[in-house]
Chains A and B, each alone.
Chain A
Amino acid sequence: MLKIIEIEARLFVRDRLNSLFAILFPSLLLLVLGAIPALRTPDANFGGQRFIDSYMSALVVFTLVFIGLQRLPAVVATYREKGVLRRLSTTPMHPARLLAGQMVVNFAAVILSVLLLMVVGYVVFGVDLPHHPLGLACAVVLGGAGTFALGLVIAALAPNARAAGGWATVVFMLLMFFGGVYLPRFMLPSVIQAIGSYTPPGVEALQQAWLGTAPDWRHLAIMGLVSLVAGTVAARTFRWE
């Protein structure tokens, strides 16, 4: 299993464009936005915070949905389409382990990306370190699980890698919208804000854990439920060839 993770990690790193984008982009975007004076001045619109403070959670959302929906389903569907999973079925190792390795590596990329964002935010703009580190960890793990599970459902149901990419992009866009990546959440109608609290990866829980007091356990529970349901659907419907 370690060997699988090692090789999956090498493949991830070798795909420079995607891996760098996933890990660096949120921090770069933070730097760009923070370069605009108005966005690093406290404002009543953001509840007395600065725009960049309120946008931290959206950047985490971006990382999670990019990796969970733009990378994971495409890689998994391609593995199936190219017969990689079928080939592994003939060995003593079950192909599910390859998918497990794939998820470990992707999740490691999520953690790197979030840590980098935390450091850049703190060092460059003095964004608070997470107020509730355990809560943030839970929100990232459960939100990531929910998003990855959705990605796997798409990989399971899509007839081929192209379709998987297309479907995943639609879901990617929707989740970015509800997660306040396109438009900051304070600009969204309250109903959309409410929906965003419950769609993976759960922007509200991320924001509350980072700069509020603690994530709402109901939001976390919903993410857990989404992961469970989507994970089950993916496992039930997944085709190995």
Chain B
Amino acid sequence: MAIIEMSDLGKRYGPRVAVDSVSFEVAEGEIFGVLGPNGAGKTTTVECVAGLRTPDRGSVSVLGRRPADVRASIGVQLQDSELPERMRVSEALSLFSSFYPEPADWSERLGLTEHLGVEFGRLSGGLKQRLSIALALVGSPRVAILDELTTGLDPQARRDTWSVIEEVRAAGVTILLVTHFMEEAERLCDRVAVFRDGRIVALDTPSALVSRVDGATRVRFVPSAALDVSLLEALPEVTGVSSVGEQLVVSGSEDLLHAVTSLLARRQIVARQLRVDQVSLDDAYVELTGGRHVEDH
């Protein structure tokens, strides 16, 4: 069942088109990633889901209703939104708790308990971020919108936050996650939508996006004996072969390694200094948004 439905959404600010014909559905319990360069329309899109903006065109519904009608079921963590300098962590939590019928306390799981008496203006960037996540979850939302969740966190805190997100999802919350970090999207998201110039240019599981890239796997080795390159090129799994000095670089599909090693074994050639590289979501993202090869728009 789709818990978030967006269809043909359009939004412009003056002459500038921020979002154009964006459609997607998010199923209950899913972690849905929103990727894309700055200015690609990610934030505008999630702000429409959060009920902060009214689209010019198209429709968006959360739990089958207008977002503004179900605010109590949507938890939001915004980019660049602060609290009064002198408000303490405990005050922020109790203030926000008072807005919701069934408040939940995430402060312990987010490591905020020792900082309850600290004023917002004195928190480090990482703690501000964690407080902002705690406030997004304070209303026991059915849908959580997290914009740039781990920006400003150190790698350890980032991993801790990821486990919190997995816990949140395990509790049945649907998550819309805007992120810059491919590692984060790969680790957390069931599906991701890649935005570019206000449109979705790809929408799939992270692994499917990766496999779209030509030559997703690359095998490098130095053969122990001379090897006819055309034999490699004849393999159906291979899309390209090049050589760098003695070293051969073979690229191709996911099953490439097995095909290459089988061929070498039959010829009784040993692959020395063997290395296998997998194209990551990072590479796929660059292809999809940077337009190096991608022509579709």
Contacts and interface: CB of A to CB of B under 8 A. Distances in A.
B139 interface: yes
Interface stretch (B9-17, B78-86, B188-196): B78-86
Given A7-B91, A83-B78, A92 B71 contact: yes
Interface string B114-126: 0000000000000
A11 interface: yes
Interface residues of A, number: 19
A87 interface: yes
Given A3-B95, A82-B82, A92 B100 contact: yes
Given A90-B76, A92-B100, A3 B81 contact: no
Contacts of A78: 84
Contacts of A90: 50-52, 71, 74, 76, 78
A15 B80 CA distance: 24
B52 A89 contact: yes
A10 B81 contact: no
Q: How large is the interface on B (under 10, 10 to 19, 20 to 34, 35 or more residues)?
A: 20 to 34
A157 interface: no
Contacts of B135: 87
Interface in B55-73: 71-72
Contacts of A3: 94-95, 98
The B contact surface, by secondary structure, is: loop
Contacts of A91: 71, 96, 99-100, 139
A117 B98 CA distance: 36
In this complex, the member of A15, A79, A83, A92 whose beta carbon has the largest number of chain B beta carbons within 10 angstroms is A92
B81 A11 contact: no
B80 A7 contact: no
Contacts of A89: 52
Interface string A80-112: 001110110111110000000000000000000
Contacts of A7: 87, 91, 94-95
Interface in B89-136: 91, 94-96, 98-100, 135
B81 A83 contact: yes
Contacts of A218: none
A201 B74 CA distance: 43
Contacts of B96: 91
A90 B98 CA distance: 14
A83 B72 contact: no
A83 B128 CA distance: 14
A37 B191 CA distance: 81
Contacts of A14: 86
A222 interface: no
Contacts of B81: 82-84, 86-87
Given A79-B84, A86-B52, A92-B71, 10 more contacts: A4-B98, A11-B87, A82-B81, A82-B83, A83-B78, A84-B81, A87-B83, A90-B71, A91-B99, A91-B139
Interface of A: 3-4, 7, 10-11, 14-15, 78-79, 82-84, 86-87, 89-93
Interface of B: 50-52, 71-72, 74, 76, 78, 80-84, 86-87, 91, 94-96, 98-100, 135, 139
